[in-house]
Chains A and B, each alone.
Chain A
C-alpha cells in the first residue's frame, strides 16, 4: 500500500469550533472556543476535497465527484492515519493518562486492590508513589522517546514533555456584522470566538493511502481548513505511517499471565453512548484477555461539516487520546498483542480513529 504524508502548516490562526453554537442574537458575553488539534473528520474533508478538485470536481457538481473518494459516510478507497502533531518535524503525542503530575513531577498509575463500587468489583488505578495534589496531566504532549518511555513502564524525561501552551496559543477574536446603512455594528451581531495560533514550528500530519496511482497530485497547495475560511499550506511527500509511533516494547509473561496496556493515540470512536460506556469498562474491541483497570479522559464530541449535504454532522462521543486500559491475557497471546500495536480499532478505523499503542505494566508485589 502506497502511503503519502500530508503535512498541514496553518498560515496564521485556525478555528475548529467546539460543540457549542454561537447563539446569534443573544445578549451577554460568551466566547466560542476552538479545539486543537482538529479531529480527523475535519482533516479528511480537506484531503478529499483537495483531491476531488484536482480531478475536476466543483462544489455542487455531484456527478463529477470521483467515486474512488467515497461519499459523506465512507472514504471509498482511501485509508487515513492521524492526525499527529509535529513540533520541529518530530511527532508529539497526547500524554497517556496513566501519569499524574504535580509541579513538573510525575508518578504512574497502576491497578490497585479490588474494590466494590458502582462499576461492580473493580481495580481502580492508584499512584505508584504518593504525590500530594497530583492531577491528570491535561494538555501535555510527549515526544516519540517520551511515549516510548511510558509504554516501557517508566516516567518520561522532562525534555520529552511539552505543554500545550508551548505548542500553540489561544487568540480571542471579536467579530461584528456591520450595518451598511449606518456603518455601525448591527445590534445583537457581535460575537466572540477563540482562534488557535500554532507556533511557527508546529504542523499537523495525516497519512493517506489508496489514492489511485495514475492520479497526479500536486506536492504543495494552500487550502481552506476549518472555520472562517482560515488557510493551511499542505505539503505532500511519500512516507509510511508505521515510522511515526515508537516500536512495541518487549512484553514478557509473568505467572503465566501477559500484562500490557492499550493506549489511545488518536480519539477512539465506538458508536453510541451505551457502546462507549461498555468500551470504558471493557476496553476497545478485538483485544485478547481481560481488562482489569482503566484511566479514561473526559469524553469528547466530534462533529464536522457535511459538505455534500451542506449541514453539520451529528455530534458523536469519542474517547480522548491518552486513555489507557490495563489488560491481563494468556502468555500465548504475546504475538497477537504485539501485532495490535499501531492498529485502529472500533468505528471509523479507516479514518484513523482509535489507533492504539501497546505498553507494559507489572503487577505490584505485596511485601
Chain B
C-alpha cells in the first residue's frame, strides 16, 4: 500500500481556524483561496494524526517517529489538505441536505484516480437554479435559495462517496440526502452557510462580559477526505498509520477540542476502495 484516502465525517462541529481576523468574524475557518471552500490544511491534519498516534503508541515510539518524521528527517507519510466533499445545508422544506457541486465531485474523481481507485462516473452538471436529487420531490429550498428539482440517478456517485463514511446508518441515508447544485451556487453555501458562534468570557463576580468574540465553525456531518502517500520504499508506514484507528476510528482536528469540537469519524480507503 503506497497511498490511501482518509474519509473524515464530522461528528461535531469543526474549527480548523486560520488564527486571523477577517471582517466581522474574529476567528474564521481556513478556506481555499481560489474557491473559498472550507479546508483542513495538511499541516494541521498531519499534526492531528501525529497527536493521535502518540496517544495510541506513545510519544517516543519509533514507529511514530518513522511515520511523521523528526527534526532532521522527513516523515514516511505525506498528507494532503482535507478537501470538502459534502456540506450539510439547512433545508426549509425538510431535513438538511448534503450539498455538493461538479467541481468537488470532479476533484474527488481525480483524486481517486491518483490513489489508484476506480472513479468511472459521469459527474452531474446542473444548470443555475437546478438541484439534482435522486428522488422526486417538490421545489427544494436550501437556506434562502429555491431550486428546481431535477431527478437524476445519483447512485454511481453515492457508491463512490459511501466508503468515506464510517457509519452504515449514515451511508444508508446518503442517497436521499445528496443534492448536486451548480458550482456558482455552491460557493454561496460555502461562504455564507457556516455557523457563526458568539463566545464570551464572564467576570466571575459581576457576571459581565470580559471578552466577547465570534468564531466560525463547520457543521457536524460535513464530509472531508485527504490523500495519504507513503514515500518510496516506506510503504509499510501507511499500514502502521492505519493501525492506530483499528481500536478507535476517531480523530480530533482543528481548534476548540475542550469545547467538544473537531471530532471526526475516520474511514480508510486503500486500493479497491473498501472502507476499513
Using a CB–CB distance below 8 Å, which chain A residues touch chain B?
11-13, 50, 53-54, 58-59, 169-175, 178, 180, 183, 190, 197, 199-200, 222, 224, 228-231, 233, 310
Instruction: Check A54 against B80 for contact (C-beta < 8 Å).
Output: no
* CA gap between A53 and B231 in the complex, in Å: 10
* CA gap between A229 and B114 in the complex, in Å: 18
* CA gap between A180 and B50 in the complex, in Å: 11
Instruction: Check B78 against A12 for contact (C-beta < 8 Å).
Output: no
Residues in B whose Cβ lies below 8 Å from that of A171: 32-33
Instruction: Check B59 against A59 for contact (C-beta < 8 Å).
Output: no
Q: Within the complex, which residue of A58, A172, A180, A190 is in contact with B18, where a contact is CB–CB below 8 Å?
A: A172
Instruction: Check B3 against A222 for contact (C-beta < 8 Å).
Output: yes
Instruction: Check B42 against A228 for contact (C-beta < 8 Å).
Output: yes
Chain A min CB distance to B196 (Å): 20
Instruction: Check A53 against B232 for contact (C-beta < 8 Å).
Output: yes
Given A54-B232, A231-B78, residue A197 in contact with residue B34 (CB < 8 A): yes
* A-contacting residues, B205-232, CB 8 Å: 227, 229, 231-232
Instruction: Check B229 against A231 for contact (C-beta < 8 Å).
Output: yes
Q: Mark B48-62, 1 if CB is under 8 A from A, else 0.
A: 000100100001000
Residues in A whose Cβ lies below 8 Å from that of B232: 50, 53-54
Residues in B whose Cβ lies below 8 Å from that of A233: 114
Instruction: Indicate whether B19 reaches chain A with its CB closer than 8 angstroms.
Output: yes
Instruction: Check B73 against A59 for contact (C-beta < 8 Å).
Output: yes
Chain B min CB distance to A225 (Å): 10
Q: Mark B1-27, 1 if CB is under 8 A from A, else 0.
A: 001000000000000011110000000
Instruction: Indicate whether B81 reaches chain A with its CB closer than 8 angstroms.
Output: yes
Residues in A whose Cβ lies below 8 Å from that of B43: 173, 175, 228
* CA gap between A310 and B231 in the complex, in Å: 18
Chain A min CB distance to B228 (Å): 10
* CA gap between A222 and B78 in the complex, in Å: 10
Instruction: Indicate whether B233 reaches chain A with its CB closer than 8 angstroms.
Output: yes
Given A222-B3, A224-B74, A310-B72, residue A11 in contact with residue B59 (CB < 8 A): no
Chain A min CB distance to B141 (Å): 30
* CA gap between A200 and B43 in the complex, in Å: 21
Chain A min CB distance to B72 (Å): 7
17 further contact pairs, Cβ within 8 A, besides A12-B83, A54-B232, A180-B59:
A11-B114, A11-B227, A12-B32, A13-B41, A53-B232, A59-B73, A172-B18, A172-B20, A174-B18, A175-B43, A180-B54, A190-B19, A197-B34, A200-B107, A222-B3, A228-B42, A228-B43
* CA gap between A22 and B274 in the complex, in Å: 42
Instruction: Indicate whether B257 reaches chain A with its CB closer than 8 angstroms.
Output: yes
* CA gap between A325 and B104 in the complex, in Å: 46
Q: Within the complex, which residue of B20, B33, B78, B257 is in contact with A229, where a contact is CB–CB below 8 Å?
A: B78
Chain B min CB distance to A57 (Å): 9
What are 30 of the A-B contact pairs (CB < 8 Å)? A12-B32, A12-B42, A13-B41, A13-B81, A50-B232, A58-B233, A169-B34, A171-B33, A172-B18, A173-B18, A173-B43, A174-B17, A174-B19, A175-B43, A178-B51, A180-B54, A180-B59, A197-B32, A197-B33, A199-B34, A200-B34, A200-B107, A222-B3, A222-B78, A222-B114, A224-B231, A229-B74, A229-B79, A231-B78, A310-B72
* CA gap between A310 and B71 in the complex, in Å: 12
Residues in B whose Cβ lies below 8 Å from that of A228: 42-43
Residues in B whose Cβ lies below 8 Å from that of A174: 17-20
* A-contacting residues, B65-114, CB 8 Å: 72-75, 78-81, 83, 103, 107, 114
Chain B min CB distance to A353 (Å): 27
Instruction: Indicate whether B47 reaches chain A with its CB closer than 8 angstroms.
Output: yes
Chain A min CB distance to B236 (Å): 14
Instruction: Check B80 against A12 for contact (C-beta < 8 Å).
Output: yes
* CA gap between A50 and B231 in the complex, in Å: 10
Residues in B whose Cβ lies below 8 Å from that of A180: 54, 59
Residues in B whose Cβ lies below 8 Å from that of A229: 42, 46, 74-75, 78-79
Residues in B whose Cβ lies below 8 Å from that of A231: 78, 80, 227, 229
Chain A min CB distance to B37 (Å): 11
